[in-house]
């Protein structure tokens, strides 16, 4: 096995309802996760503010 080149250090806290805030080591501003569009419809919730879902970030990472 090779050497570890990076280890993610992330702290995620729940804000309100489906909204979560992630603090990623090395970045000043937090990243927000939540629901929007069809996802909020699927779960039948209406968040105070829409945010990208964790699924959006995973798809973006794989596709990028």
**In b/e form, how buried is each residue of 34-57, taking b as 16+ CB within 10 angstroms?**
bbeeebbeeeeeebeebbbbeeee
Domain count, the chain: 1
Residues 52/34, Cβ–Cβ less than 8 Å: yes
pTM of the model: 0.78
User: So what's the pLDDT on residue 27?
Assistant: 96
pLDDT of 64 > 80? The answer is no
Residue 33 in any domain: the answer is yes
Residue 28 in any domain: the answer is yes
Residue 5 in any domain: the answer is no
Residue 36 in any domain: the answer is yes
Residue 3 in any domain: the answer is no
Residues 18/34, Cβ–Cβ less than 8 Å: yes
- The tens digit of pLDDT for each residue in 23-63 reads 999 999 999 999 999 999 999 999 999 999 999 989 999 98
User: So what's the pLDDT on residue 1?
Assistant: 78
Residue 54 in any domain: the answer is yes
């Amino acid at each position: 096995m090779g050497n570890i080149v990076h280890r993610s250090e992330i702290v995620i806290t729940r804000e309100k309802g489906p909204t979560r805030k992630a603090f990623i080591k090395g970045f000043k501003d937090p990243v927000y996760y939540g629901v929007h569009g069809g996802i909020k419809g699927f779960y039948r919730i209406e968040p105070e503010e829409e945010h990208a879902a964790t699924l959006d970030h995973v798809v973006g990472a794989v596709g990028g």
